[in-house]
Amino acid sequence: MAFLEIEHLEKSFGTNRVVKDFNLSVAKGEFISLLGPSGCGKTTVLRMVAGFESPSTGAIRIDGKDVVKLRPNQRNIGMVFQAYALFPNLTVAQNVAFGLKVAGVGRAEREARVVEMLRLIGLPDKGPSYPFQLSGGQQQRVALARALAVRPQVLLLDEPLSALDAKIRVSLRAEIRQIQRELGITTIFVTHDQEEALSMSDRVVVMNGGVAEQVAEPFEIYNRPATRFVANFVGQLNRIEARVIAPTTGEIEIGGTRHMLGRSLPSGDVALALRPEALHMGADPARELNLTGQVTEVDFLGSVIRLRVDVAGNRLSADVFNRPDAPPPALNSTVTLSASASDLIILTA
């Protein structure tokens, strides 16, 4: 049964509809990411769950209780903000204890909870410090401890990693996920960073123009995008224009060369998509798609080499592992790339 339910949620600012018929069911203890570009409505959804924005229509239920009419301080929700939002005039310990203090929790219990929370985030000695004395990563961990100290029903994370540098971001996202699993707290995480969303979440909601385009597990989102937008937004994508010769057998023509995919396709012209890592160097008769073209670019990225190959006007990117015994092909050389029909994504919507 869903712990957090969002039904037919809509939000308009004047004539601008920023969230359109948004629906989501989140199980208890689940980690859900709202992923999308700026202005897609993900933060507005989060702020409606928090109570900072009122929905134009729709329902938000937490543990079966409709919270739409409740003020933020009545919802028992924890939130971590992008810019930390620690109270600068309070020490770390006072920040963490803030929610407990306003709830009237006794001093002894407050202090015990602060110790527990600071240990949880790995900053047991920072209680007397002020926020300005901490690094960005430490401040965000304190913000997490502050949000969790009140034992909220739901934790909302509003792009909490985007203000941090890349290295801290990677380590902190693992920490956040570990703490979330440890506490089993239902979490909604807003981000525009697909790597964060895919690596941390049980499920990802990809949003565009106020609409949830796809709600699925990260593997599904990446490998079987439901819409053209999801396919383009999540990960790198090669787009191949093809003409379907035989829809039932999946015979297609790309740049005058025919290929038998062995799967049904819509008739007419289709746009096919392939992830760069689904293309392999060299011809392979076991794979349905063998494409020959000219190397136009070779990017050495360390463990991976990214090739750009022109195949009958389609500019394809192929990621191949760097192997010291197999140097990358030379620029302007002719290569054959192969791919399995099952890796092909047919872009429809």
Q: Interface with other proteins by CB under 8 A: which residues?
A: 50-52, 71-73, 75-79, 81, 83, 85-91, 98-99, 101-103, 130-132, 143, 146-147, 150
Cβ closest to other proteins, residue 161 vs residue 339 = 161
Question: How many Cα atoms sit within 13 Å of 259 on the Cβ side?
Answer: 26
Query: 49: which 2 tokens?
Result: 């769950």
Cβ closest to other proteins, residue 52 vs residue 321 = 52
Cβ closest to other proteins, residue 9 vs residue 79 = 79
Count of beta carbons in the 10 Å neighbourhood of residue 185: 20
C-alpha to C-alpha distance for 246 and 216, rounded to whole angstroms: 32
| Residue 11: exposure state from Cβ atoms within 10 A (0-12, 13-18, ≥19) | buried
Cβ closest to other proteins, residue 32 vs residue 86 = 86
Query: 220: which 2 tokens?
Result: 């599904």
Cβ closest to other proteins, residue 81 vs residue 222 = 81
C-alpha to C-alpha distance for 288 and 146, rounded to whole angstroms: 55
Nearest Cα to Cα of residue 79 among 210, 202, 163, 190 = 190
Q: How far is the CB of 210 from other proteins (least distance, A)?
A: 22
- Residue 287 DSSP label: S
Cβ closest to other proteins, residue 102 vs residue 112 = 102
CA distances to 115, 156, 243 from 92, in Å: 11, 20, 63
Query: Residue type for 312, please?
Result: A
C-alpha to C-alpha distance for 9 and 6, rounded to whole angstroms: 7
C-alpha to C-alpha distance for 265 and 89, rounded to whole angstroms: 63
Cβ closest to other proteins, residue 99 vs residue 250 = 99
